[in-house]
Amino acid sequence: MNETAAKRLVFAMLDADGDGIISKDEYFARAERVTLATGRTHDDPLVVAARGAGERAWASMDADGDGGVTFDEYAAWAGADAFDTVCEPVLGALFDLVDTDKDGALDLPEFTTLRTALGNPVSNIKSAFAALDTDGDGHISRDDYLASVRAHITGDASPMGEALYDAES
C-alpha cells in the first residue's frame, strides 16, 4: 500500500462523521473512549499523560488553528517526522491505558479494547491481532505495535497495516 492510501485509511478512521474534516472533538473522542473502556478516571496519571500527548499532537496537526483538519492538511502533516515526534507518544499513551496488567504487551482482549476505542473496524480483530503477533505468543509488544503503525503511515511494509485499518482484511 502506498503512503497516500495509508493516510486515507487513517484519515477516514479519524474523521468519524465522514464530513471530510477531523474536528478536535473527533480527535479527542478516541482518548475518551479508551478512558471509558478501561474504567479509568480523568485524573488517572495515564489518562492525564494521554490527554497531554493528544493536545500536543492536535496542536501540531491543526497548524492553522482553525479547529479542523482536512485530508490535504493531514496528508501534508502525517509522515515519519510527525509520527516520531507527536503520534508515537499519543499512540503509546493509549496503548498504556489498555495494558491493564502493565506487562508492555496487549493480549487479544486488551487489543480489542484499544482497537474498538480507536474506531478501527471490529470485523477483523483476530486477523489484525494475528498479523501483529508475529511470534504467536498471544501478545503484541508496545514496540512492535508502534513500529507497525509507523510503517503503515509512512507507506513502508507493515505486517498489519491494512489489517489494522481496513475492514475488508
In a domain? residue 129: yes
Asked if residues 120 and 41 have their Cβ atoms less than 8 Å apart, the reply is: no
Count: domains in the chain? 1
In a domain? residue 107: yes
In a domain? residue 68: yes
Tell me the whole-structure pTM to 2 decimals: 0.85
- Walk along the chain (169 residues) and give the pLDDT tens digit of each residue: 677 877 888 898 889 999 999 999 999 998 999 999 999 999 999 999 999 999 999 999 998 999 999 999 999 998 888 888 988 999 999 999 999 999 999 999 999 999 888 877 778 888 888 888 888 999 999 998 898 888 877 777 666 665 655 444 3
CA angle 123, 77, 120 (to 5 degrees): 10
Q: Which of 168, 122, 161 is nearest to 5 (CA)?
A: 161
Q: Residue 112 corresponds to which cell in the numbers above?
A: 480489542
The Cα–Cα gap between 108 and 145 comes to: 13
* β-pair partners for 68: 23
Q: Which of 33, 3, 19 is nearest to 94 (CA)?
A: 33
In a domain? residue 145: yes
Q: Residue 44 corresponds to which cell in the numbers above?
A: 488517572
In a domain? residue 163: no
In a domain? residue 43: yes
CATH number at residue 61: 1.10.238.10
In a domain? residue 164: no
Whole domain around residue 17: which residue ranges? 3-155
Contacts of 53 (CB under 8 A, 6+ apart): 86, 89, 90, 92, 93
Counted residue by residue, the chain has a size of 169
What pLDDT score was predicted for residue 48? 96
In three-state secondary structure terms, 22 is strand
